[in-house]
Structure 1
């Protein structure tokens, strides 16, 4: 079978012929139908420590997978051939980094990492929910403790920020967005954002209950200035490898926490919203042969929303 694999840092992925996986106890094989492209993939390809951290190379990337179970291993119950599933990327396997990911015809997955894709839900949305959806949802709802009476700031209207904005609106929060690209403002408004600024610095003294930073540059310090005493800032984005927070900014009992990944339960909550038609993230489909070019577009900031590679049967 074919797989797009990381071989060397700062080099393009290589399309290799690899053996088909065989399921062991508690495992299934997925015939991949959709796999999202993520800025994390670009980070893995360019970070100087990636190759040393991987258990082996070449490594098949892709951690936003959805498809159909094509084989089950010994002892697997509750799942059968033909089930439509998404894969939790922060579960037992950590696909696309510690185990082979979804930029391939087939993928080996632990059953603990499976989320059931509802009938009728487009498989591309099934893929988007597994990372872009899960990560944004977990930061906002689980780590941020979102409730309906909160005033919320969302920094960044990339793939994650768009989903978070809509989820926060659906859960009854008063949502405001900071996004420098003004061509994305109509999208934020269509998702239900009550206010927009180009720079989160304009929120200083705004006294939000919660701000979630999906950008990750110098935006965390601006987010701290935007929350009330006792409020919370959740950092998710990794646009820069480090940032500085003035110590005095935190002294008013403000909370700064990080968030990464999420759970199968997060993914299935998102599937319910998507199936109901309340959540419809923007995405663009590309072919399996366009994966490397798609990653180059991501690195060059030429993508709005999410890129999803569609392939398989």
Structure 2
């Protein structure tokens, strides 16, 4: 039996290891992809530490990895769109029986030498887009893109705030710049993260412990406050602070996940000024396709987003680095 390496998680014991598994085979309507790059996301860390649990996984073990790019190795029966050698990224999930299943969570993902994907979840990528950058478009880039364009319906020349300048938030800054939000204000406790936000396009940065932050935001927006605020941190105190920075009709979009309650201290003012809190999760296939086209047209560049590349065999080290925030990475990449 021919075997390949894969990063496998036992969801009952939360034991993770890179081990030999049988080479997967594509079924009808599927394609076998030789993985060239796979992103390491905080969601992967939360799967390992037990914070997240798969909803639809059949069995107790799963190959992690929902940010994946590679080359088509073998189309399955009935697949005519794809041929061996095509460069592709894999959508981070797919709809099954009316619900969305997440790759690397509810079924095997791309922390592996080879991955199987339904043909409809492949997106062709241009030759000039490196696999390391292509891999992170699903989720690390598409999630903030969907939050900005679809959930918040961000408008140009209006002020926006970003809380948390990590892997999602810093791309949020970059994408807000692309759609013309102004000014863009980033809030993060880490000085290096604030510097990175400036490099990615923020106009102003502040630490969240600044007691004058709401007043400073209003001062920078001509007294108006923020039209759009994005919580990429998933921290209750962040959300309360962001609400205090909203202007009339302002929208707070909750992108970072937490099971803690949201408190709005002054509910009367919130209602009077017709402000909104909007939940957000992930992205749709169309958002990934849009981003690939923007890269193809040289509107976006993600070369600064790859903070390090490790071999697949060192997946545990990558997880530990992300957990420790060692080097304050945007995205770490695994290469089989």
Q: TM over 0.5: same fold?
A: yes
- Does the alignment pair 1:95 with 2:119? no
Question: CA separation in 2, counterparts of 1:222 and 1:100?
Answer: 39
Counterparts of 1:155-194 in structure 2, within 5 Å, are: 155-174=163-182, 175-194=184-203
Counterparts of 1:224-263 in structure 2, within 5 Å, are: 224-238=243-257, 240-246=258-264, 248-249=266-267, 250-251=270-271, 252-263=273-284
Report how many aligned residue pairs link the two structures.
310
Counterparts of 1:1-313 in structure 2, within 5 Å, are: 1-8=4-11, 11-47=14-50, 50=53, 54-92=57-95, 93-174=101-182, 175-199=184-208, 202-203=213-214, 206=218, 207-218=225-236, 219-238=238-257, 240-246=258-264, 248-249=266-267, 250-251=270-271, 252-275=273-296, 276=298, 278-280=300-302, 281-283=304-306, 284-302=308-326, 303-311=328-336
- 1:91–1:263 Cα contact (<8 Å) kept: no
Structure 2: stretches of 5+ with no match in the other structure: 96-100, 219-224
Query: Against the structure 1 CA distance between its residues 48 and 129, is the aligned structure 2 distance closer, same or farther, given a 3 Å change threshold?
Result: closer
Question: CA separation in 1, counterparts of 2:55 and 2:67?
Answer: 23
- 2:37–2:68 Cα contact (<8 Å) kept: yes
Give the structure-1-normalised TM-score.
Answer: 0.92
Question: CA separation in 2, counterparts of 1:138 and 1:36?
Answer: 19
Q: Which moved more, 1:18-27 or 1:47-56?
A: 47-56
Q: Residue 222 of structure 2 aligns with which residue?
A: none
RMSD between aligned residues: 2.1
What SS does structure 2 have at the residue aligned with 1:233?
Answer: strand
Question: CA separation in 2, counterparts of 1:51 and 1:119?
Answer: 34
CA shift for structure 1 position 277: 6.0
Q: In the TM superposition, what whole-angstrom CA distance separates every residue of 1:206-261 from its partner, at most 9, and x where no partner exists? A: 321101110011211111121122111111112x4313312634323211111111
What SS does structure 1 have at the residue aligned with 2:102?
Answer: coil
Q: In the TM superposition, what whole-angstrom CA distance separates every residue of 1:101-150 from its partner, at most 9, and x where no partner exists? A: 10111111112222221111010000011120111111111111122222
Question: CA separation in 2, counterparts of 1:23 and 1:50?
Answer: 26
Structure 1: stretches of 5+ with no match in the other structure: none
Which structure has the greater CA radius of gyration? 2
What SS does structure 1 have at the residue aligned with 2:162?
Answer: strand
What SS does structure 2 have at the residue aligned with 1:299?
Answer: helix
- 2:227–2:247 Cα contact (<8 Å) kept: yes
Question: CA separation in 2, counterparts of 1:133 and 1:244?
Answer: 25
